[in-house]
Amino acid sequence: FATSFQILLQTALNLRTRTKNPTELEGEVFREKEALDEMDGARKKMALRDSSSLRLLLAFLFWNEETMAQMLEILRDYPIKDVTLPRLHNRLCFTGLASFALGKKNGTESYLKLGQNCLSHFEHLTKYGSVNAKPVYLFMLAMKGPGTKTFKKAIDACAEANMPHLEAMARERYASFLREEGLVAFANEYITSSYWLYQDWGVHAKALQLSQQHDFLEHAKRDGGISKIGSTT
């Protein structure tokens, strides 16, 4: 279990502090390549699954398409089952989101199929009343079929379920969609709200990335309707 905790802690550090490449687990707590080189067999396979799952989360969050593709190639052959449900659902959540993101952009059928498998898993859980599965399911639907209706349903579900991390990501992805549609002013509003939610979540490295990408955030004011859970501002 020591390796699992090291992977989690290094991920948390990548989220909170500035690093050269936040999608790599190469830091003071865990160095992925070095650690995996010392393992073999089932232990290495499980460690690679865990590190790749969290690197996929980081790649989707920091929007690194190259790393998303690399992690999907590693994870695609792992079964949709795990004795630890939180670990399974985190893996399937970001596998689905990243698969639809890349599949829609590149028209890659294998990614879309992988995304659909993950979507079906969360659809099943949602039908049986899982309040945690519904926001993930709706966010995946929005990534599969981007539009104002799908994204707003996802954003509302994330907010209702008190999931600022997913709400922030959904708002940022919706902003990207709006920008592509030429609706820059509306896109900036959603970027601003996602920025404050990232601050609430405590992922200061991501908030910093947004502030560096969007100069208008320097003078941004918080909307009173945005969640203030764990706000650091």
Task: Look at residue 223 in the predicted model and tell me its pLDDT.
Answer: 72
Could you tell me if 143 and 101 are in contact, meaning their C-beta atoms sit under 8 angstroms apart? yes
Question: 141 is written with which tokens?
Answer: 């639907």
What percentage of the chain carries pLDDT values higher than 70?
96
| First and final C-alpha spacing in the chain | 35
- pLDDT tens, position by position, 107-135: 889 999 999 999 999 999 999 999 999 99
What percentage of the chain carries pLDDT values higher than 90?
88
Q: Rounded to an integer, what distance in angstroms lies between the CA atom of residue 207 and that of residue 120?
A: 32
C-alpha to C-alpha distances, 24 to 30, 57, 66, 200, nearest whole angstrom: 10, 11, 12, 23
Task: Look at residue 126 in the predicted model and tell me its pLDDT.
Answer: 97
Using 50, 70 and 90 to split pLDDT, how confident is the model at 231?
A: very low
Grouping H, G, I as helix, E, B as strand and the rest as coil, residue 31 is strand
